[in-house]
Amino acid sequence: MKSSAQNGAFFLSPKPAILVLENGLIFEGNAFGAYGTTSGELCFNTGMVGYQEILTDPSYCGQVVTMTYPHIGNYGINANYSESKSIQVSGFIVKEGSQHPSNYLSQSSITEYLEQHNIVGIQNLDTRAITRVIRAEGSMNAIISSEILDYKILKKQLQTIPSMEGLNLIERVTCSKIYKYSKPKKTLFKIVAIDFGIKTNILRLLKKQGCEITVVPATITSDEIQKINPDGIFLSNGPGDPAAALDAIKCIQSLIGNYPIFGICLGHQILALALGAKTFKLKYGHRGCNHPVKNLETGKVEITSQNHGFAVSKDNIPSNIKITHINLNDDTVAGISCSNIKAFSIQYHPESCPGPNDSQYLFDHFIQLMQREKNNG
């Protein structure tokens, strides 16, 4: 790699990189992060901050994420901000990545962070133009490379990438064995959290509520959960097509009515499928920190953090399911409940990270459900 000098300061000349979209569009830029080639479903996130939480959110497994905000990495990287143990995205696209973060808590730059985790990215291209393409034409696969600059070769590789529809990605992000999350100072409830790709801040908030949490793999059976004998069951966020998670749906069907259940994101979709509803793929998904959702029970509008490419269908929804929340951007289902079986779920992320805290009351609701069940028992 060549170096250049300007005003007495030396810097490395950027390596070229290329982004090829499934529709044939080609964007030229510069390498960002690790050197190599990567691919996945192309999506965009409109958040101005929270890039580390986005990178480490397991719900992004198998996706190439485009950030619409033009300058990413300003405040660097800190291990305490991660939502899992490693970066989960397949690739990362930014207008400009900051090489010199300004934050006393920063432990490294975003470029160093991507390199450490071998994540291929691209920068110095128009991310808002890419976003307009996704919004107009819908989700599509994409490939980034800083080692292969022949777009014809990359187009051929693109043809081998599977569609997100029908794809079960849970096995790539779930834990391999049962473990206990750190205990609260005072245990009020014992819960099982089924890990479809659980975010760390969800565990923090449940612990804060006095929950002793047993985190279990997505492959667990209903019989194994019953042996643990929890006060409630939490269904986590995660990646992929919920309709492809057949074993998880079957497991939840066996547990419905026996325990209070709270689901978030993929957990919400799996609960809905277990109750007899259907899911569908959104044109380009909801990903950002400022999505308005209306609580139909209170009439209040909450500003929410969202990250999903599928949604629960309103069509032929079973009579036992009550729609409790609606996304005001496109009127899709954002929350459901079934009071007779002590279950409710939310399509968005009340735990935020990144995003607002408007909806953290939902964790209180889960606690109230478990307390009510204890009182009745």
Look at residue 2 and tell me whether its pLDDT is greater than 60.
no
> Looking at residue 26, what is its pLDDT?
97
> Looking at residue 7, what is its pLDDT?
37
For residue range 256-307, list pLDDT tens digits in order. 999 999 999 999 999 999 999 999 999 999 999 999 999 999 999 999 999 9
Catalytic residue IDs: 265, 349, 351
For residue range 216-234, list pLDDT tens digits in order. 999 999 999 999 999 999 9
Name all domains of the chain by residue range, CATH numbers in brackets: 13-158 (3.50.30.20), 170-376 (3.40.50.880)
User: What's the mean per-residue pLDDT of the chain?
Assistant: 94
What single-letter amino acid sits at 258? N
Q: What is the mean pLDDT of residues 328-347?
A: 95
> Looking at residue 274, what is its pLDDT?
97
Q: Which of 252, 241, 212 is nearest to 228 (CA)?
A: 212
Q: How far apart (Å, rounded) are the C-alpha atoms in residues 188 and 190? A: 7
3-state secondary structure of 331: coil
The pTM for the full model equals 0.94
CB 143 within 8 Å of CB 154: yes
3-state secondary structure of 111: helix
